[in-house]
Structure 1
Amino acid sequence: MPLTTTRTDGGEPHEGWSFTVRTTLGPVRLDDSMVVAEWEPPLRWRVHKTGPIHGWAEGVVSPSGAGSRLTWTEELWFGGKLLSPLTRRVGDVVGPLLFGPVVRRIATVTR
């Protein structure tokens, strides 16, 4: 992701391993904390968002023709019970715009 840095627990990723992605734009800073909920490399992983951004993300690699296909599913929202229905819809629209190019770049690099 543009404008981001990542802090991680030590060692290799595993279930329970956590990391924080910090996005900074001038004086504005947003930390997106996550914990690995499922880790089955290289075919599947899932993280749960634990900071001010709530939700989850999952990646699944499956055979496709002579190669493979990466399916990335993510759901995110801000706020509590009152705001989450609205911000979840915003995330559904904005998420693919933000994460689509990143996922395509990951898929291209790992070929």
Structure 2
Amino acid sequence: MKIILCLLFLINYSLCLAQNRKGVYTIQREKSALGNKSIISGSVVDFATNQPLKVAVIKIDTTLIQTDTLGHFRQELSPGKHQVRAGFIGYYLIDLGKISLRKGELINILFRVKEDTRPLID
């Protein structure tokens, strides 16, 4: 039984970890004590330095949220599917697509975004 649980955890973790040339994100899910509401929270940091990106923008559906001086954000939402994106000026945009939130769930996301070094003008 423990082996099956460990295998399920590893499979779930590998599915939650996505990497591409634009950066990396990890997602952790846990139960919160909010009853009917759900929360998406997390941080946005520079991929190379792990330094927090102050005033990075997270877009959840049509709502824009900015990170604080430590690169953290938090948004209370209703359960359901929500489109989630994160970005910062001079960095790539990371689009998670639709994330499904369950009632009373807390999702913590760590965005590690890469600097966009492409020239602005060719």
What is the TM-score of this pair, normalised by structure 2? 0.31
Q: Which has the higher relative contact order, 1 or 2, with Cα contacts under 8 A spaced 6 or more apart? A: 2
Larger Rg: 2
What is the TM-score of this pair, normalised by structure 1? 0.33
